[in-house]
Amino acid sequence: MNFLTSLADRDRVFDFLVPAQSPVDVRHGPILYLEDVTVSFDGFKAINALNLTIDDGELRCIIGPNGAGKTTMMDIITGKTRPDAGKVWFGSRHDLLAMNEPEIASLGIGRKFQKPTVFEALSVFENLELAMAADKRILPTLTARLSGAVRDRIDEVLETIGLAELRSRPAGILSHGQKQWLEIGMLLMQCPRLLLVDEPVAGMTEQEMERTAELLTGLAGKQSVVVVEHDMGFVRSIARQVTVLHQGSVLAEGSMDQVASDPKVIEVYLGAEAEEEVG
């Protein structure tokens, strides 16, 4: 019995120490590849022949007016929405369209939702505990114990997201900005290969935004990050590559300065903002 417990224990620590060995194969190209993806809701094409490639270790910003299909695109990648047509590949080995949400999540694709959804009845610490990369089948979850290594890892992430002091409080009492941080923390606990981050700075103060920018740029390289954001200042501060989405397909792609000077982009998106700024 003791032997079994110690075996199980060692396994768990082991699991955790090897940071999410995602089986994704990126030797022959991008980590994420979307080709001619189309989705329509009651005849309305929310995504229209969308092509997108994300390289391994890249930090990509996706911008676009409301209703451009940014969130829907993330729904497709994570298996929440099934496209009517097209291909979605994770590395060169995994066809995401043939998998369901938990399978995709365990492949190493983590997601932060536009509207932060944390588990309000659970404490901040427990939220991170659940998010942690681990064996998520029933029996291992039932018998899981908080090992020292796990605790340390959660503490580390608590420090990173600045919620260490609130660790034992229910997540329901957090402010909107703090919930965003907790969501990012939950994402970090999963050690994903690819992070999909939907509007991370909504409801944040300037300082919080700066820290978020630091955090996300710090992640790039080790992990691939796709950020959807409306806040232009924020995008400018983190982006190397920007993709502009409009009516469900790519309108422009390039550095922030390139897309900002693209007349098509100015017309549909930045124009509106520029006018606002002028006006």
Partner 1 sequence: MWLTRPFSERSTLIFLGVLLAALLLVTALHLAVPRGHPLHVTAYTVNLLGKYLSYALLAVAVDLVWGYLGILSLGHGAFFALGGYAMGMYLMRQIGDRGVYGHPELPDFMVFLNWDSLPWYWLGFDMAGFALLMVLLAPGALALVFGFLAFRSRVTGVYLSIITQALTFALMLAFFRNEMGFGGNNGLTDFRDILGFSLRSDATRLGLFLATGVALALGYVLCRAIVASKLGRVCVATRDAEARTRFLGYRVERVQLFVFVVSAMLAGVAGALYVPQVGIINPSEFSPIFSIEIVLWVALGGRATLYGAVIGALLVNYAKTVFTGVMPDAWLFALGALFVLVTVFLPRGVAGLLGYRVKRLKRRRQDEEDTPTAGREATA
Ligand X SMILES: Nc1ncnc2c1ncn2[C@@H]1O[C@H](COP(=O)(O)OP(=O)(O)OP(=O)(O)O)[C@@H](O)[C@H]1O
Nearby residues of 127 by Cβ (< 8 Å), 6 or more positions away:
118, 119, 171, 182, 185, 186
Of 66 and 207, which has the nearer Cβ to ligand X? 66
Using alpha carbons, list the distances in angstroms from residue 251 to 81, 243, 259, 265. 22, 8, 9, 7
Residue 243 found at the interface with partner 1 (CB under 8 A):
no
Interface ranges with Mg ion (CB under 5 A):
70-71, 114
* Locus of tokens 């606002």: 276
- Tell which one of 111, 153, 179, 246 touches partner 1 (CB under 8 A): 111
Of 5 and 21, which has the nearer Cβ to partner 1? 5
> Nearest CA to 172 among 116, 111, 110, 112?
116
Site for partner 1 in 65-94 (CB under 8 A): 78, 80
Alpha carbons within 13 angstroms on the beta-carbon side of residue 129 total: 17
Residue 5 found at the interface with partner 1 (CB under 8 A):
yes
User: Cα(204)–Cα(231) distance, rounded to whole angstroms?
Assistant: 11
Interface ranges with ligand X (CB under 6 A):
41, 46, 64, 66-72, 114
Least CB distance to Mg ion at residue 118 (A): 18
Residue 6 found at the interface with partner 1 (CB under 8 A):
no
Mark the segment that binds partner 1 (CB under 8 A) among 49-57, 121-129, 213-221, 240-248: 121-129
3-state class of 76 per DSSP? helix
Which two three-digit tokens encode residue 279? 């006006």
Of 81 and 123, which has the nearer Cβ to ligand X? 81
- Which strands sit side by side in the sheet containing 94-95, from one edge to the other? 44-54, 32-41, 85-90, 94-95
Mark the segment that binds partner 1 (CB under 8 A) among 166-174, 218-226, 243-251, 253-261: 166-174
Least CB distance to partner 1 at residue 149 (A): 15
Of 73 and 154, which has the nearer Cβ to ligand X? 73
Helical residues (DSSP H) of 144-205, grouped into ranges = 148-160, 176-189
DSSP at 213: H
Of 36 and 101, which has the nearer Cβ to partner 1? 101
Residues that bind partner 1 in the complex, under the rule CB under 8 A: 5, 78, 80, 101-102, 105-106, 110-111, 113, 117-122, 126, 129-131, 136-138, 141-145, 162, 165-166, 168-169, 186, 190
